[in-house]
Amino acid sequence: MGRTQRRRHHRSLLKATIKSVESDALHTLYSKLHSQGWRNDTQLSGCHFPATGRGLCSKKQHFVPGDRLITMPVECLISIFTLESDESFKALFNVEHFDEDARISFQALVACYLMYQQHESSEKADTNSAAYLNTLPANYTTPYFCTIPELQLLPEALLERTVAQNRTIRNYYLILETLLGSKHCPNCNQCYFSDIWTLTDFRRAYFAVNTRSVYVESRHLKPTKCHFQALIAGDTNLALAPFLDLFNHSDAVETSAELKRTSDGKSWEFVLTLVSAPSDSIKPYCELFISYGALPNLKLLTEYGFFLERNAHDYFEFSLLDIEHLIKHNKELNTQNYHRNIFKFIRDHNLCDQMFVNLADGCSHNLRVVLHLIFKQQSYFPNVLNQIAFGDANKFDDVQPELSYLITYKLHEYEHYTAALAQLPELSDSGIVARSYLLECMRYLSDFEAAHCDLKLTDFE
Ligand SMILES: [Zn+2]
């Protein structure tokens, strides 16, 4: 729930406005983590912040760049080490049945492990993950969980990613179902796939991992003989990090995450360090942020279910379809003919990738080239197009007013979507966040237009 409305760091947080969120679930988690060797050296505690919802602060310590924010023994994380150490979970997977054409990501395997732990903890009093599972949100606010009427009112860029996520998740679910099809829980004797875990459970578990995992260089955590090796496509460099996953993201801080040897040299610990922050020193009771990476809002929204207002790393991306739609809807552009060879050339040379506008830097090179090829030159022979596209870059500066038309077209499109979403009888949490995101995109495009598009010129044309 706390991830719904993350915004930028408010510096004027007063102690009085911060409510502690040390619920029973969090208290149980503290005890569990302490029993696994976590000492909470930096005196972190979970609080409710007006601007961001659930987050972390220290009640005692000031932080300056270079300070450790948190140090956590790897035993507290749910990593490849955890899965490889869990003999009964491993026993569900018969290595002989692994198929090199039907692999899953490590993320999907961790999601399966979460479902497994969920069922375990419903039957046994004290499992390893029970304390953690109780601190997970009941739902997630990525567009993936929008209702069907909401999905129908999302722009192509969002829908495309949501559809791709759905395809991936279903595919992994089917692979797991094939592998574990007949396995039964030894306690209740129910079949995991037909009686206990549903696709809905898997979706929720998948997004628990998607939204809450941290990057961990796993080579120190992986046994030399890894049971799951032949099942996993890609690396195993992620882990769920109980408690630590309460840190919110900010575009204003830089943080580093690394595995370090413990002082006795016997094990490893996960260390998060503050690299830079907007103020010299972060005071007690101020929310502590980490950086999930230099990510634009579209990525934050589709992967984590939130976005930042005036995100320093934001940009707005266009597709070739946007330009085709623009041509269809713009009276002036619509009167001309555009040879399909030009569009084919653009696709064949991937010029339609990286077509974006950035508030600070203006229009991307590829967007300029594409607008120039379509609107500013007459040829459709591939060899001539080639000379133009990969020739002198200066001649691509002439793409006004088409760039302005494109921005205006997009603003109208998003205005339509936000208005239509507001007309729905009710919005889900995902729908509310998605609609706010569209409004933020409109704010971004308007600011871009004011800074980079010569409005006078387009007005008079
Ligand atoms: Zn059972």
Cα dihedral 325, 330, 331, 337 in deg (nearest 10): -50
Which positions ≥6 away from 443 have C-beta within 8 Å? none
Q: How far is the CA of 171 from the centre of ligand 1 (A)?
A: 25
Tell whether the model's pLDDT for residue 11 goes beyond 70: no
**pLDDT band at residue 5 under the 50/70/90 scheme:** very low
Q: What is the pLDDT of residue 461?
A: 38
Mean per-residue pLDDT, 314-330: 95
Residues 21, 53: Cα–Cα separation, whole Å:
10
Q: How far is the CA of 185 from the centre of ligand 1 (A)?
A: 5
Residues 403, 382: Cα–Cα separation, whole Å:
24
Are 355 and 157 a contacting pair, CB within 8 Å? no
Tell whether the model's pLDDT for residue 149 goes beyond 90: yes
Residues 78, 239: Cα–Cα separation, whole Å:
5
Q: How far is the CA of 94 from the centre of ligand 1 (A)?
A: 20
Q: What is the pLDDT of residue 233?
A: 96
Are 215 and 272 a contacting pair, CB within 8 Å? no
Q: How far is the CA of 129 from the centre of ligand 1 (A)?
A: 16
Q: What is the pLDDT of residue 323?
A: 95
Q: How far is the CA of 418 from the centre of ligand 1 (A)?
A: 45
Q: How far is the CA of 187 from the centre of ligand 1 (A)?
A: 5
Q: How far is the CA of 211 from the centre of ligand 1 (A)?
A: 27
pTM comes to 0.90
Among the residue ranges 228-232, 336-340, 351-355, 405-409, the one predicted with the least confidence is: 336-340
Q: What is the pLDDT of residue 224?
A: 87
Beta pairing partners, 213: 240
Identify the helix (H) or strand (E) that includes residue 229: none
- Structure confidence by residue, pLDDT tens digits, 415-459: 999 999 999 999 999 999 999 999 999 999 999 999 998 654 444
Q: How far is the CA of 92 from the centre of ligand 1 (A)?
A: 13
Q: What is the pLDDT of residue 12?
A: 36
Average pLDDT, the chain: 91
Closest listed residue to residue 126, CA positions, set 117, 136, 114, 116: 117
Q: Per the structure block, which two tokens stand in for 401? A: 């007013």
**pLDDT band at residue 3 under the 50/70/90 scheme:** very low
Tell whether the model's pLDDT for residue 181 goes beyond 70: yes
Q: What is the pLDDT of residue 393?
A: 76
- Number of other residues whose CB lies within 10 A of the CB of residue 257: 18
Amino acid at 25: A
Q: What is the pLDDT of residue 339?
A: 87
Cis omega (within 30 of 0) for bond into 401 = yes
Q: 3-class SS at 227?
A: coil
The 8-class DSSP code of residue 247 comes to P
Q: 3-class SS at 289?
A: strand
**DSSP-H helix ranges across 37-79:** none
Q: What is the pLDDT of residue 356?
A: 97
Q: What is the pLDDT of residue 22?
A: 58
Q: What is the pLDDT of residue 15?
A: 43
Q: What is the pLDDT of residue 23?
A: 74
Mean per-residue pLDDT, 343-368: 95
Q: What is the pLDDT of residue 377?
A: 86
Q: How far is the CA of 208 from the centre of ligand 1 (A)?
A: 22
Mean per-residue pLDDT, 15-43: 80
- CATH 2.170.270.10 maps onto the chain at 15-76+243-304
Residues 394, 80: Cα–Cα separation, whole Å:
51
Domain 15-76+243-304, CATH number (from 2.170.270.10, 3.80.30.10, 2.30.130.10, 1.20.1250.20):
2.170.270.10
Q: How far is the CA of 182 from the centre of ligand 1 (A)?
A: 14
How many residues are there in the chain? 461
Q: How far is the CA of 127 from the centre of ligand 1 (A)?
A: 13
Q: How far is the CA of 191 from the centre of ligand 1 (A)?
A: 8
- Number of other residues whose CB lies within 10 A of the CB of residue 10: 13
Distance of CA 67 to the CA centre of its chain: 26
Are 247 and 282 a contacting pair, CB within 8 Å? no
